[in-house]
Structure 1
Amino acid sequence: MTRQRRATLAALMMIAAAFLNGLDAAIVRTLAHGVHPLIIGFFRAFFGLLVLLPWIVTQVDLRASPYRWLHALRAGLKLAALVSLFVAFMHAPLADATAINFSMPIFLILGAWLFLGEQIGIGRILAVLAGFAGIMIIIRPGVTGFDPWLLFALAGAVLTAIIQLMLRRMALNDTTDRLVAWNLLAMAPIGLIVALPVWVTPSPWQLALLALQGGLGALNMTLITRAFGMADASFLAPLDFLRLPIVALLAFLLFGEVATTSTWIGAAIICAAPLALAGGSRLLRRRFDDAP
């Protein structure tokens, strides 16, 4: 397969993953008035594990991982990030919650600077400030229309950034397959433990939606992993922002929600900040590489 065809296939995978993310948000909103978000979190992990368990058993050497408790900690944080986002999807406008979740790279930049000692220049500082400006435009704190449920989407973005920082360290001594497998294996029992205090057995219809969500989540992860293995991250990353128009369209068609002007303006600023920073970094590297 030629490089161009691989890039095209990877792009199609990312577009499909963005659509699956939109369906995920729609399923959570549909379950909002009947299933507790902690129970949704457990079944998301449980059914995702069921889908990928044959691959884990036959293809992954779990015992070779140098980590144990770190896998459990990362799985707990991942569950908390998912549940936070589910709460936002249940109560806040879907497009707003999705747009706020795009702020994760902003917190990743801050975390890498604070905890990993990475350099932060004027470009990254401006990207962070722009990202926070976009967040404020959407959340609108201190004014009429402020939606506190969006703070859960913000918490999900912060937790996801922490997870990414952990992965940077763990990936130095472990494989991607083992990191994925251990995350699924640890999330399911942790999810069950935290869901038991609020447990109400879902109806058959709710259980079917939960199973669909778990399967879509596993498929989504597989598509993204394969896509990034076939093409450059700088080419694929912007396609992730397709989630917003897809979610906005599904929210309008299924729930009658109309994304506001402030949502689109804030989302544009949040998305543009890391993209501009990445583009500027590539340009500087290209100039350096071409220098005599």
Structure 2
Amino acid sequence: MLRVIARDDAAMLAVGLAAMGAALSAVDAAIVRQLDGGLHPMMIAFTRALFGALAVLPMVVMRPSVLKSVYPLRQHMARAALKLVTLVAFFAAFARGPLTDVTAIAFTSPIFVVIGASVMLGERLGGMKILAVAIGFCGAFFVAGPTGAGLTLAMGFALVGAVLQAVIQLMLKSMSSGDRTATLVIWNLLLTVPLAFVLALPFLTMPTAGQMGLLALQGVLGAGCMALMTHAFSLADASIVAPVDFLRLPLVAVLGYVLFGELAKPSVWIGGVLICLAALIASRASRRARPAE
């Protein structure tokens, strides 16, 4: 009985942490939109990585062993490069398109994980996974189709970001078997800074005091979101934690309306619900497919 109560308490804490992470992600998207036109997306990616790295630096100083990895540096570098391109794609999408539409398209990432796992890892596509892929793409059509935002440049950036995010998750699926989550997160942050700096050189500008404050806040929020979600997944099953992330959609919709006067179309909400449903089906099907421990 005590073990059941402890497990329930851990699950409740995990849900709370994931909800906080979703809220931070929604604020992150609003900050990018607020910076729209003032700074290049590559510049935003660099400052985000810089302030995020500074946020985790005390942990590295206090526990240098956290950097110990079983994987070569080039593998961490490849993941950091992909993560950087993913961030820039999403930043460009949030700067150019409606926040709710972009967020809905971003949720297609689990669908691409299912497809990628089948193509790259040889995982079998069962009936539930095929259903999830079909529903997910129907949802994407509602969001980016003729009745939604349309096939705009912003939707294209969001779709690229979702695909690359899926590739990163497939890499993490493999690397997490050898390294601790903290090691993977910290190496990603530390290696992204020099990569982003080199690529941001042509676009470097001196931010205003207000922009610098928003950039610093975004970096801290990004590191905080990773920490919250990482801890949440360590406390409860992914099937409990992952659905909480879908809170981002209504939160982003509220921020988009209050701060920028954006009102999401009904087709976007229909598409968003379908995409979230597809992601849940894919997650449940993947969990059932795992061998019992």
Please give the TM-score of this superposition, normalised by the length of structure 1. Answer: 0.93
The residue aligned with 2:26 is 22
* Runs (5+) with no aligned partner, structure 2: none
Identical counterparts, % of pairs: 47
Change (3 A) 1:49 1:233: same
Match of 2:39 among 19, 35, 39: 35
Aligned pair count reads 287
Match of 2:215 among 210, 213, 232: 210
2:93 corresponds to 1:88: yes
1:139-288 → structure 2 map (5 Å cutoff): 139-140=144-145, 145-279=150-284
SS of 2:72's equivalent in the other structure is coil
Q: Deviations over 1:43-91 (max 9, x none)?
A: 1100000011011222242244332101111001001101100011001
Alpha-carbon RMSD across the aligned residues, in angstroms, is: 2.1
Tell me by how many angstroms 1:201 deviates.
1.4
In structure 2, what is the Cα distance between the partners aligned to 1:91 and 1:215? 24
222-231 or 242-251, which deviates more: 222-231
Change (3 A) 1:141 1:78: farther
* Runs (5+) with no aligned partner, structure 1: none
Please give the TM-score of this superposition, normalised by the length of structure 2. Answer: 0.92
In structure 2, what is the Cα distance between the partners aligned to 1:173 and 1:221? 19
Paired residues of 1:14 and 1:240 also in contact (CA < 8 A): yes
Q: Deviations over 1:15-45 (max 9, x none)?
A: 1111111100110000012011000000110
2:60 corresponds to 1:56: yes
Change (3 A) 1:186 1:205: same
The residue aligned with 2:78 is 73
The residue aligned with 2:8 is 4
In structure 2, what is the Cα distance between the partners aligned to 1:284 and 1:51? 38
Change (3 A) 1:143 1:168: closer
